[in-house]
Amino acid sequence: MLRKNELLEIKAFLMEMKKEILQNLEEKIKSNDMSEQREIGDIFDDADLEQSREFNLLLTTRERQKLDQIESALSKLETGEYGYCEDCDEAIPVGRLRAMPFATLCVNCKSERESLEGTPSAYVEEKG
Ligand SMILES: [Zn+2]
């Protein structure tokens, strides 16, 4: 079970990661000169941003994946579902969450899934 300060710590970390990705994207938009009339500042407030063409063109698959994971972790933090294994509902140890804030499975279920799917997540991690 995560304590409130631990949740806040993880939330802050996730927000920081999200900011980094968006800042990275902002840099790309600037250098690609694709923004044209678009105000860069709007990007953080744009609710439809993730559906926008620019956004999808400029983000790498990896960044998009990461952003998805961040969003889903953040929404779980909001609903109080964060920190529980999706498969067995066991609480994921805080040490694991600190190391991997997007972990949605406990170590056991994760290795079980990997052996079932035959695609270790490291493969996805190292691509791109
Ligand atoms: Zn589990």
Per-residue pLDDT tens digits for 74-88:
999 999 999 999 999
**In 10 A of CB 10, how many CB atoms?**
21
Residue with more model confidence, 55 or 51: 55
Percentage of the chain beyond pLDDT 90 is 49
Q: Is residue 31 very low, low, confident or very high in pLDDT (cuts 50, 70, 90)?
A: confident
Residues facing 84 on adjacent strands:
91
**Please, which contacts does 79-84 make with residues 24 or more away whose CB atoms are closer than 8 Å?**
82/2, 82/7, 82/10, 83/1, 83/2, 83/7
Alpha carbon of residue 16 to chain centroid: 11
Percentage of the chain beyond pLDDT 70 is 72
Q: Is residue 126 very low, low, confident or very high in pLDDT (cuts 50, 70, 90)?
A: very low
Distance 76 CA to ligand 1 centre (A): 16
**C-alpha gyration radius of the chain:** 17
* Mean pLDDT of all residues in 36-64: 64
Query: Which residues lie at CB < 5 A from ion ligand 1?
Result: 85, 87-88, 106, 109
Q: Is residue 25 very low, low, confident or very high in pLDDT (cuts 50, 70, 90)?
A: confident
Distance 109 CA to ligand 1 centre (A): 4
pLDDT of res. 51 = 58
pLDDT of res. 83 = 94
Q: Which domains are present in the chain?
A: 4-127 (1.20.120.910)
In sequence order, the 6+-apart residues with CB closer than 8 A to the CB of 93 are 106
Distance 10 CA to ligand 1 centre (A): 20
